[in-house]
């Protein structure tokens, strides 16, 4: 390609030859690493961030993964997998949370997201974070949600338009451990006001008792394989009744044993 056209008698040079026109600016989505001539196609600035929705710092508006994703580790055979599902208000940087365990001897931090981890680009989005807790009836788990400004997740009360929410679940068994009732909780709110350990440790035991009794009932009333008839209408009703009664009994007895 001839650069700087010249007049007769002028000296001139031939510049570089360009074979791959495209966007040569890596700050744009249209960036082409193979382009050797910028043809003006750079139009949209890229948003760098974590694009993994399971990471605690997931950015739903990011279109270029910058390798910053923070992911939880896989749970072991003596652990339960839990999940914090946090919907952020208009001020994500104010929000943090921590999971602790107390075995009677020491209080340990299982997982923590410090205030300032989330940023404004995550406002209104839901971030799911998985973590592991030990499967031990003598270990008590506490979830603490914090807000540095003091308005909780009630963004609409301080000039915003979005209120946040949070739910903590034992996804190994599908049980709810903690659910935020009022987004305007102030500086902090804790699962210590609820019996979280009932759903982390006792519900798996309840499921075991339920299926054990259910198998016995079905085998007795049908005289056939419990596995093939568990879903039958006639033999299914006793199982449902047992499940409901065990749930009600345990939810009345276990809170009296809880240190909360």
Distance, CA of 192 to CA of 141 (rounded, Å): 9
**Which CATH code for domain 79-194?**
2.60.60
Distances (CA, A) of 61 to 46, 73, 162: 10, 25, 17
With a threshold of 0.75, does the pTM exceed it? no
Over the stretch 155-206, which tens digit does the pLDDT of each residue have? 999 999 999 999 998 887 777 888 888 899 999 998 874 444 444 454 455 5
Inform me whether the pLDDT recorded for 209 exceeds 50: yes
Distances (CA, A) of 246 to 35, 38, 139, 209: 67, 70, 22, 9
Distance, CA of 139 to CA of 141 (rounded, Å): 7
Distances (CA, A) of 1 to 9, 22, 140, 219: 20, 16, 73, 86
pLDDT of residue 167: 93
Confidence of residue 47 (pLDDT cuts 50, 70, 90): confident
Inform me whether the pLDDT recorded for 214 exceeds 80: no
Q: Where in the chain is the domain with CATH 2.60.60?
A: 79-194
* Average pLDDT over every residue of 229-251: 48
pLDDT of residue 10: 66
pLDDT of residue 136: 76
pLDDT of residue 212: 60
């Amino acid at each position: 390609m001839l650069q700087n056209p010249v007049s007769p008698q002028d000296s001139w040079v031939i510049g570089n030859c360009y074979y791959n026109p495209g966007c040569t600016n890596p700050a744009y989505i249209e960036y082409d690493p193979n382009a050797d001539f910028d043809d003006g196609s750079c139009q949209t600035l890229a948003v760098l961030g974590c694009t993994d929705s399971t990471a605690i710092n997931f950015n739903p508006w990011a279109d270029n993964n910058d390798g910053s994703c923070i992911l939880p580790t896989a749970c072991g055979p003596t652990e339960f997998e839990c999940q914090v599902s946090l919907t952020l208000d208009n001020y994500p940087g104010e929000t943090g949370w921590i999971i602790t365990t107390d075995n009677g001897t020491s209080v340990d931090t299982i997982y923590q997201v410090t205030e300032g981890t989330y940023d404004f680009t995550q406002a209104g989005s839901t971030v799911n974070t998985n973590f592991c807790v030990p499967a031990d009836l003598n270990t008590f788990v506490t979830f603490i949600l914090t807000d540095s400004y003091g308005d909780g997740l009630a963004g609409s009360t301080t000039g915003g338009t979005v209120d946040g929410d949070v739910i903590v679940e034992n996804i190994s068994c599908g049980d709810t451990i903690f659910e935020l009732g009022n987004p305007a909780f102030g500086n902090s709110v804790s699962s210590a006001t609820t019996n979280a350990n009932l759903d982390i440790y006792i519900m798996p035991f309840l499921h075991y008792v339920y299926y054990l009794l259910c198998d016995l009932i079905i085998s007795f009333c049908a005289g056939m394989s419990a596995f093939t008839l568990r879903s039958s209408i006639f033999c299914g009703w006793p199982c449902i009744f047992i499940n409901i009664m065990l749930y009600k009994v345990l939810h009345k007895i276990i809170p009296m044993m809880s240190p909360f």
